[in-house]
Structures are given as C-alpha cells and as structure tokens.
Structure 1
Amino acid sequence: MYMKKTTLFLLGILFSLGISAQTPFYFIQLTDPQFGMIDKNASFDKETALMEKAVKQINKLNPGFVVVTGDLVNDGNNADQIKEFKRILATLRKDIPVYLTPGNHDVGQQPTSASLAGYIDTYGYDCFSFQMNGTCFIGINTQIIWADVKDAEQSQLVWLTKVLENSQKCTHRILFGHHPVFVHSADEADKYDNFPLAKRNDYLNLFNRFNVSDQFAGHLHYNSSGQYGNFRITGTSTVGMQIGKEKSGLRIVKVYPDKIESTYYPLDEVPAIVEL
C-alpha cells in the first residue's frame, strides 16, 4: 500500500525537473535535524534554533534543491516534533524544491507496515527520483535495508533498478539515503552505521553496474568518506546534535558535467555566494 502511494508521487516528479542542459549547479544537503535529541525529547528548542538558522542561510542562496537525509525528528511518534520540523521547513523559499528521505528515528529501528505507512501519511513518500540538468537524483529508504524488512525492501529494489535502467542518458547518478552503504571500507564489519554485509555487495554491484557516482548520507552525526570503485560515499554531519568534532551545519554539493564537488559548512560559515 505504501509503495503504491510512493510510486504515484514518483511518477509525478520523475521528469518534472528534467532538462537536457548540463549547466553547472549546486544543491544543499541537510541531515539529522532530529528534533528532540539534544534534550532527550523533553524539548526541541535547540533544534528549532539550529534549523531556523539553516533555513535562513539557505534562503539567501539559490540551490537547485534541498535534500534532508533522514532523522527528521527524534521520536517518529511525537506529533509536536513533527509539526515543528514541518513548520520550519515550510519557511524555505517556495522556489527551492525540497526532498526528504526517512531515517531510523522516523520509521523505527524495526519498521512495521504501520510505521512505514504512517511516515508516508505524514510526509507523502519514502523514496523519490528526479532529473535535473542531466543528472539523475535518487532517494531511498535505507532503514528497510538495514532492518531487513523483506517485502518493502524488495519493492524498493525493483523500483530502484528500473529508475537506474532509465537513467542511462544522464551524466551523473547521485543517491541519497540516511545510512551510508558503508562508512570507510566496503568490507568493514556490520554495525549500526552501515548496510549489512549480506546485502552490501549486492547494492554496491548494482550501483557500479549503473555508474552511480555518489551517495550522500547522514546517520553518523559526523563527516566521513569512503569509496568502492567509482562509487563515492560522503557522510554528512548534522544540522542538529553533534557527536564528533564538527559544528552543526550543511553540505553544499556542486554538480559539473565532469565532476561532483562538495564542502561541509558550519552554519556560521555558510558562504553568502556559491561560486561555480
């Protein structure tokens, strides 16, 4: 049921932004605003201040779009956290498209059909695809992969494969998802942060087969990077609570016909103008 709703949404946006020109452009990734995490669900005032600051900075710029890669809230059943996240997101300039992928805190550590349907009822979809300036962008629900939700994962995999098959005229294919496929090394051990090894190679082979150049992920609450063949994984630190040494911030990703470049900026250091 929820995949059907998602598919209808995808059909509506798949080519809505697609144009043939390969003009350089940039987009902005936010991740893990996770309303309620800092004060352990007692309050989300600190997340409100950080997210409002991020949106204010973005509204001064002209990105092609914004993507938020999961853990939108700390408690996916907390209506107040969800309402506040959506309220602030709605203050983004109307000419800037925004896309979301779910995180484990949004659909649960072990998602059920009810939690997945609830997420879609709240946000409209749990995966997406569109084309812009000759690049194909794909967002997936990584929690159903990590938690081995077989029916949901299989439906998504069928859809993902078709999207990739239909993207061969694109110059680049870029993936978004909450969990990185891996953090540093393709053969690293299973952990909370990555795709299970039992599935990881299948996904890596799929992405290399269709020349997916990059994944931009969240989940870690710190910046990371890894590479397997031509597939590069960039983990982005959070706009919300930090675990590592980074400060709350966002990532600006520049897309050129021959390369992809990205830089993470603390919120106080976001440039006033993005040079391409």
Structure 2
Amino acid sequence: MSAMEAADVFHRARGRTLDAFSSEKEREWKGPFYFIQGADTQFGLMKAWSTGNCDAGGDEWGQEIRLTEQAVEAINKLNPKPKFFVLCGDLVHAMPGTPWRQEQTRDLQRVLKAVDQDIPLVMVSGNHDLGNAPTAETVEEFCQTWGDDYFSFWVGGVLFLVLNSQFLYDASRCPALKQAQDHWLDQQLNIAEQKQCQHAIVFQHIPLFLQSIDEDDDYFNLTKTVRKELADKLTRAEKQKERASSQPLVAALGFQVFKEGGGQTALQTEENFRPSVSPLLKLSIS
C-alpha cells in the first residue's frame, strides 16, 4: 500500500460524505446487511488507568496494540464481509497538545491499515480526539488526521449520520462550528424524510443517556437539556417519516439504541460474534 493509499484509508470522509459509497447507487433498500462497531481503542489508557494518572499517564500502549490487532484479525475473517467498520471515538488516549499523541496516533493507524481494503473505515470523534471543550484548532487537527468530524453516507437504502458529540457537550470555544453542525443535521433529517430511507442511524461518541432519557447528568452522558432537544429532533423526523412510510426510522447513538416508546428496532446485535477483544459489536439491519 502506497503512502497515498494509506492516507486515503483515513480520509474517506470528505466534503461531509464518505467516498467509499455512491449515494445515488446506495439509496435503494436491497435487503439486510451488517456492519461492525467498536469504540475507545484509546491507545495509552491502560497504563494511565493502572497508575491512577489518567491525565498525564499513558506512555505505554502495547496491550492496546495487541487487542486492536486481534480485532482487525477477527473482522478480516468475517464472511460475508461487513459493509464497514466504524470506530465511535477516543481513538487514542493522549489529549490534543499532550505527550505521546503523535506516537499513539501513528501506531493506531499502522494497525488499522491491516483492515481488509474492501471494508471501509468510518472514524468518529470523541473527547480524547478533540478535547473536552474542542477548539477550531483541535477540530482541524482531527480532520487532517482522520477525515471530517461529521458527515453522512448511504448504504443499502440506509442513511448513516456521524455527529461530533463534543459540540453537544461543550462548544463554548467553537460556537460557530456547533451551529454549522446543527444546521447540517436539520438538512440531513429533511433528506431522510424526503428520500423515505428504510432507516436512519446516528453514530456519536457520547450517548444521549446510559439507562434512561430522564437520568441525571453525568460525565458519560449528555445533559438533560441537550439530550431531550436532540431526541425530540430525531423523533420528529421519525414521526414525519412514518406518516409517509410503514417503516420506522431508527437512531443508534454511540452504543445505545434510542427509539421513542421502546420496543424492537431494526438494528440488532448478533450474538454469535464475540471475539475476545475490546468492545466490538456485529450489528445487522433488516
């Protein structure tokens, strides 16, 4: 693989879309398919956690390398192949501007280059990738390293939306960027309604909630105000779509599946895929 080809592996999200799939060809529902979802490869976390110094630690990441290599090996053995492999943020542990970040990023990219070239990578940003309060500079660094921080793409009649959830957590240092994403999301949800997609699925690092939409605010969820605003926006799009189609719209957020009223969704975890590595989910859409 040439240096140019290697770079393209991590820059497939450009111009707010993923160039691995043709939106025109992929807008028609063609039947069930599956993809692989993981998160928090976070090279350096294990050493930092073991020493109790999660802010400044993380000068070793050999164990994370081995686990990610095992994940890649398991994914490459799947037959039929998944449509894509999405990593939902915290790709490395070192925050922007801290030691070891470049080295962790280099090693993660080296490992991920071994993913079968027919399985596109979808990279989602997390707080360790952008900082807890992102800036225009940290967002630009992410985009130069991994591709766009938010974008959409179509696969088999399903509209996938990737969000930068740090804008929903703390956009105090980049309010204009958050406003741009908000406007873009409104446009995408209108497209989901107009095109009558089979389903729409959202990927983001910070989930709306862990157990209940009414749970207390916590480090690992979005605030009640933000989560309810986003949930209302998604459910409004769902209700509008259901008036035009018998198929419900589903939104999968982080590792959570959100659907107003509960019940079954079209996104299901396959129990027979349980590699002995850090979190990987094999998710089927029907």
- Common fold, TM-score beyond 0.5? yes
Look up the match of 2:44: 36
Work out which of the residue numbers 255, 261, 266 in structure 2 matches 1:229: 261
Look up the match of 1:65: 84
Residue identity over aligned pairs, in percent, reads 31
Is the contact between residue 134 and residue 171 of structure 1 (CA under 8 Å) also seen in structure 2? yes
Aligned residue pair count: 235
Return the alpha-carbon distance in structure 2 between the equivalents of residues 76 and 137 of structure 1: 27
* C-alpha spacing 1:76/1:123, structure 2 compared with 1 (3 Å): farther
Look up the match of 1:267: none
TM-fit CA distance, 1:214: 2.7
TM-fit CA distance, 1:248: 2.2
Is the contact between residue 153 and residue 160 of structure 2 (CA under 8 Å) also seen in structure 1? yes
Q: Which amino acid aligns with 1:60?
A: K
Is the contact between residue 71 and residue 278 of structure 2 (CA under 8 Å) also seen in structure 1? no
TM-fit CA distance, 1:64: 0.7
Matches within 5 A, 1:66-85: 66-77=85-96, 78-85=101-108
Work out which of the residue numbers 199, 212, 220 in structure 2 matches 1:172: 199
> If you compute each CA radius of gyration, which structure gives the higher value, 1 or 2?
2
Q: Once superposed, what is the RMSD of the aligned Cα atoms? A: 2.4
- Please state whether the residue corresponding to 2:37 is helix, strand or coil: strand
Look up the match of 2:245: none
Is the contact between residue 183 and residue 225 of structure 1 (CA under 8 Å) also seen in structure 2? no
Matches within 5 A, 1:34-183: 34-40=42-48, 41-61=58-78, 62-77=81-96, 78-149=101-172, 150-168=175-193, 169-183=196-210
Runs of 4+ in 1 over 4 A off after TM superposition: 11-14, 224-227
* C-alpha spacing 1:178/1:248, structure 2 compared with 1 (3 Å): same
Bigger mean CA deviation after superposition, 88-97 or 140-149: 140-149
Is 2:15 the counterpart of 1:8?
Answer: yes
Give TM-score, length-normalised by structure 2.
0.76
Is 2:252 the counterpart of 1:215?
Answer: yes
Q: Which amino acid aligns with 2:179?
A: Q
Look up the match of 2:9: none
Return the alpha-carbon distance in structure 2 between the equivalents of residues 80 and 16 of structure 1: 39
* C-alpha spacing 1:64/1:11, structure 2 compared with 1 (3 Å): closer
Deviation per residue, 1:71-95 (Å, 9 max, x gap):
0000144100001111111110001
Structure with the bigger percentage of helix = 2
Q: Which amino acid aligns with 2:37?
A: Q
TM-fit CA distance, 1:160: 1.0
Is the contact between residue 180 and residue 215 of structure 1 (CA under 8 Å) also seen in structure 2? no
Give TM-score, length-normalised by structure 1.
0.78
Ranges in structure 2 where 5+ consecutive residues have no aligned partner? 1-12, 49-57, 239-248, 270-275
- Please state whether the residue corresponding to 1:38 is helix, strand or coil: helix
Return the alpha-carbon distance in structure 1 between the equivalents of residues 59 and 29 of structure 2: 48
Look up the match of 2:221: 194
TM-fit CA distance, 1:69: 0.1
Return the alpha-carbon distance in structure 2 between the equivalents of residues 113 and 15 of structure 1: 29
Look up the match of 2:231: 204
Q: Which amino acid aligns with 2:223?
A: P
Q: Which amino acid aligns with 1:65?
A: F
